Amino acid sequence: MKAQRITNKELLLLKKVVKALEELGIPYWLDQGSLLGIIRDGNFLPWDHDIDLGVLEKDLQSYQESLIHRLRCSGYYVTVMPYVIKITSGHRKIRSVDLRVYQESGDFVYTELRSTMDKYNKWKRVQGITATQTIKFGHLLYRLAYQNPGIKQKKLKNWGKKIINNWSLRRESLKNRRVVLKVEKMYFENLKEVEVYGLQVKVPSLAEEYLQLKYGQSWRFPQKKWNYWEDDGALYKHEYLPKRINYHE
């Protein structure tokens, strides 16, 4: 398959996220299929719907609110889950940037991937679209609070955050596959820079070893069939979720 170049809007989004991370001093790295595409092909995989970055939870915690605020005020939609922060432009055909959060435990780090298996369920599609549009409305209120400072600024901001958080959880509850990945943290302890379309982006120094762990000895060759919930070499757990997820337990 011929590689598809990143669009200008996708590159701008990636630049904004990378700049915010670097200005806040948050270490990050290109991750998952995005790392595979850049190291193997010098390009993002044409079938990927997102650009994956990784970050350690301990490095993110103190700066998460500042990061989210910067990106939302720049006009982007930011959805926060315990395992990922998704940043989008609001257009379905433009890749999002997924900031994947890794939690440490001993010599390993863990992260999750979640998806909806019955994506052709019409009722779920309606619920998902409704949640997405309501989340966008919450972002509008949030941005209005800072574009029009005044007595209602705090109320608008709080209303916006409440709508975003509540409806993000509703949309997340539609997902019913949970995959946990487990990786030795040594892979992410040392980072280096590579050039991605003129932008300097961090990648693991042991990028090739990491990719071999995840995608096997033949990682340099595209696989016709590869499922992250079955074939990922970092797979630790695969389970089906209940109808509703409670993140407040």
As for how many domains the chain has, the answer is 2
Shared-domain flag, residues 130 and 144 = yes
φ and ψ of 166, to 5 deg: -65, -45
Shared-domain flag, residues 15 and 95 = yes
Q: Is residue 248 part of a domain?
A: no
Confidence (pLDDT) at 2: 40
Give the residue ranges of the chain where pLDDT is below 70: 1-4, 119, 149-151, 243-249
Longest dimension (CA), the chain: 60
The boundaries of the domain holding residue 152 are 117-174
Shared-domain flag, residues 134 and 212 = no
Share of the chain above pLDDT 70, in %: 94
Q: Is 0.85 topped by the overall pTM? A: yes
- Residue environment code for 67-81, b if the CB has 16+ CB neighbours within 10 A, otherwise e: bbebbbebebbbbbb
Confidence (pLDDT) at 145: 85
Confidence (pLDDT) at 1: 35
> What is the Cα–Cα distance from 156 to 170, expressed in whole angstroms?
21
Q: Is residue 3 part of a domain?
A: no
